[in-house]
Amino acid sequence: MLYQIFETQRSIMEPFSDLAQAAAKLYSNPLNPMSQTPLAQRTSAGYALMHRLGKDYEKPEFGIKTVKVNKTDVAIHERIEIDKPFCELRRFKRFSDDPATLTQLKTQPVVLIVAPLSGHYATLLRDTVRTMLQDHKVYITDWKNARLVPLSEGEFHLDDYINYVQEFIRHLQSIYGNCHVVSVCQPTVPVLAAVSLMASRGEKTPLTMTMMGGPIDARKSPTSVNNLATNKSFEWFENNVIYRVPANFPGAGRRVYPGFLQYTGFVAMNPDRHATSHYDYFKDLIKGDDASAEAHRKFYDEYNAVLDMDADYYLETIATVFQDFKLVNGTWDVKGVDGKVERVRPQDIKGTALMTVEGELDDISGSGQTRAAQDMCTGVASHDRLHLEVPGAGHYGIFSGSRWRSVVYPQVVKFILSHAKTATKTASAAAPKAAPAAVKLAVVKSAEKAPAKAAVKAVAKPAAKVVAKAPRKSAAASKTGAAVKTSWVQPKQKA
């Protein structure tokens, strides 16, 4: 009944929200004499805030129209590559009429970004996608709102998520020969499972895995998110947060974890911060600070847009990742599309390089949770592993914003390029434009050898983690990442 009550309340409030928007425009319109009265700006700001607090937030667009590749504007065409019942594999195809730029675009590495299915849409990674498009062919998993998926499409389980990821990897391998995978937050666990299963079967695995801020081992440095999952029983989640989709949606009758409940949980983590942010928005409108007001709108247009998750997937994630810790305990069995059940064995991964990224102030995936993958993937050579910790970065800061662009991304692109099979201009800015193929191949070989040298130094160091220090010298250093210090890690070996 809760879902139906919420939808009824939302439907009743919708016309009032529209009226508030109209009133805000009325009091701010310079052609209206009332806009010149002393309290007009405050009245307009109050109505504008009321509109935003009461409106319904739909799925945002990625809205990436162009990116710069070596100072050249490249057009972006967004299209659906594969359409699955619960997910779309979305491609950001790049176009250019500049021959040199076009040649470079064709030789750049292919990256599959696996977006989280944990409340927000994949557009939360807009900044991640936009930045990576400068140096990569980019695909992303765009998960669908479960309330829009008819019951006729069947259920969606955590195993299905893993099978989707494997299918997408194979699809890119069939086109390009191989690919690189980047997972952010929640998908680090199913991505590690997917690649592990492929390795155990002897299939070709991605060239690299980059895992950012995910709960690989949720027992380490538990956060409020982890504590909620461990303090409540499986039955509590099933009885208190699972509801059926109302009749006015295509997925009517489907059991889901509703987006509005997830949003309530997000806000409850930092209520004071959100209240202050909305009050600042109100003051910005009064002052006429349009830039700050627009920044607020863009952030909350994304933050307030949430989706429903299928109940089976959500409950299985709670049990597998946060309660039974099946991945780290080595007890996780996954059912494939053929019905065969297989054990997840990260130690079987050998030909895939591994990079893990954590934020020092991450309050969703605590310190050490993502780095745990380093100790589990014992089959990966030590010089093919890298761990990056970003001082001062929270959860969102490692994949969006200035720290992502100036601290994390330079290391990610360097890591991917050092394990790419095809040379690109990005591999060496000093390479001449008309360099022969042999020179380009030599550049790649030297890039692949560089990490090995660093690995020798890492063996001699007993450090448990590697810290990427935020650049402080200058803005130029920030852009190049020159002040960031990283090294290759020697992970713990299992007996």
Strands 208-212 and 180-184 turn out to be parallel
Regarding pTM above 0.85, the answer is no
Show the low-confidence residues of the chain (pLDDT under 70): 421-495
User: How many structural domains are present in the chain?
Assistant: 2
Residues 279, 419 within the same domain: no
- 98-149 pLDDT per residue, tens: 899 999 999 999 999 999 998 899 999 999 999 999 999 999 999 999 999 9
Q: Would you list the DSSP string of 118-164?
A: SSB-GGGGHHHHHHHTTTSEEEEEEEPPGGGS-GGG----HHHHHHH
Residues 321, 423 within the same domain: yes
CATH number for the domain harbouring residue 146: 3.40.50.1820
Residues 286, 401 within the same domain: no
Q: Give the pLDDT score at 429.
A: 35
- Checking 261-269 for CB contacts under 8 A at 24+ apart, the result is 262/118, 262/119, 262/306, 262/309, 263/119, 263/304, 263/306, 266/119, 266/303, 266/306, 269/224, 269/363
Q: Give the pLDDT score at 479.
A: 38
d(CA 143, CA 28): 39
Of the residues 243, 269, 303, the one at which a domain ends: 303
The answer to whether 421 and 441 are in contact (CB under 8 A) is: no
Q: Sheet of 255-257: strands edge to edge?
A: 243-244, 255-257, 309-310
Q: How is residue 157 written in tokens?
A: 């389980």
Residue 189 lies in a domain: yes
d(CA 301, CA 303): 6
Of the residues 268, 303, 338, the one at which a domain ends: 303
Of the residues 303, 337, 358, the one at which a domain ends: 303
Helices 437-460 and 409-418, packing angle to 10 deg: 110
- Its domain, for residue 192, covers 66-233+309-480
Residues 40, 107 within the same domain: no
Residue 399 lies in a domain: yes
Q: Would you list the DSSP string of 196-211?
A: HHHHHHT----SEEEE
In 246-344 the beta strands, taken as DSSP E runs, fall at: 255-257, 309-310, 333-335, 341-343
Q: How is residue 339 written in tokens?
A: 């019905």
Core vs surface per residue 135-167: b (16+ CB within 10 A) or e: bbbbbbbbbbbbbebeeeeeebbbbbbbbbbbe
Question: Which residue type, as a one-letter code, is found at position 292?
Answer: S
Q: Where are the alpha helices (DSSP H) in 55-134?
A: 99-107, 126-132
Residues 295, 274 within the same domain: yes
Q: Give the pLDDT score at 465.
A: 47
Residues 118, 73 within the same domain: yes
Cα of first residue to Cα of last residue in the chain, in angstroms, is: 52
Q: How is residue 284 written in tokens?
A: 């910005």
Residue 251 lies in a domain: no
Residue 151 lies in a domain: yes
Strands 353-359 and 180-184 turn out to be unpaired
d(CA 444, CA 132): 20
Coil/strand/helix, residue 94 = strand
d(CA 142, CA 425): 30
